[in-house]
Chain A
Amino acid sequence: MTNPEPRPVLQVRNISKKLGGKQILQGVSFELRKRELKVLIGPSGGGKSTLLQCINFLIPPDEGEIFLKGQEIHIHRKRDLYAYRQKVGMIFQDFNLFDHLNALDNVSIALRKVKKMTKTAARDRAVVELERVGIGDKAELYPSQLSGGQKQRVSIARALAMDPEVMLLDEPTSALDPELIGEVLTVIRNLAQDGMTMIMATHQIGFIRALADEILFMQEGKIIEQGTPFDLLMPGKNSRTQAFCSKLQELSEEPDI
Chain B
Amino acid sequence: MFETFQVLRDSFPYLLQGAGVTALAVAGAMAFGFLIGIHIAVFQVYGPWWLRRMVGAYVWFFRGVPILVLLFLFYFGLFSLIGINLSALTSVILVLGMTSGAYQSQIYRGAIQSLSYGQLKAARALGMSDTRAIVSIILPQALRLSIPGFSNEYSIILKDSALAFVLGTTEIMARTHFVASRTYQHLPLYLMAALLYFILTGIGVKMLRKLEEKVRIPGYSHHQG
| B140→A114 contact, CB < 8 A | no
Specify which chain B residues have a CB less than 8 angstroms from the CB of A58 in the assembled complex: 121, 124-125
Specify which chain A residues have a CB less than 8 angstroms from the CB of B116 in the assembled complex: 96
| B220→A56 contact, CB < 8 A | no
Identify B127's interface contact among A53, A114, A144, A155, CB under 8 A. A114
Closest to A85 in B: B127
| B219→A142 contact, CB < 8 A | yes
Q: For chain B, what secondary structure do more than half of its interface residues adopt (helix, strand, loop), or is it mixed?
A: helix
Query: Is B144's beta carbon under 8 Å from chain A?
Result: yes
Query: Is B122's beta carbon under 8 Å from chain A?
Result: yes
Interface size class of A (residues with CB under 8 A): 20 to 34
Which of B70-78, B129-137, B168-176 lines the interface with chain A? B129-137
Closest Cβ–Cβ distance, residue A99 to chain B (whole Å): 6
Closest Cβ–Cβ distance, residue A157 to chain B (whole Å): 12
Query: Is A207's beta carbon under 8 Å from chain B?
Result: no
Query: Is A90's beta carbon under 8 Å from chain B?
Result: yes
Among A53, A100, A144, the one with the most B-chain Cβ atoms within 10 Å of its Cβ is A100
- How many A-B contacts are there with CB distance less than 8 Å? 80
| A145→B219 contact, CB < 8 A | yes
Closest to B219 in A: A144
Query: Is A66's beta carbon under 8 Å from chain B?
Result: no
Q: Which residues of B contact A (CB under 8 A)?
A: 115-116, 118-119, 121-129, 132, 136-137, 140-141, 144, 217-220
Which are the 8 A-B pairs with shortest beta-carbon distances? A144-B219, A86-B127, A96-B122, A96-B118, A110-B126, A90-B125, A145-B219, A85-B127
27 intermolecular pairs with C-beta atoms under 8 Å apart: A53-B121, A82-B127, A82-B129, A86-B126, A86-B127, A90-B125, A92-B118, A92-B121, A96-B121, A97-B119, A97-B122, A98-B123, A98-B137, A98-B141, A99-B115, A99-B119, A99-B220, A100-B140, A100-B217, A114-B127, A141-B218, A141-B219, A142-B217, A142-B218, A144-B218, A144-B219, A158-B122
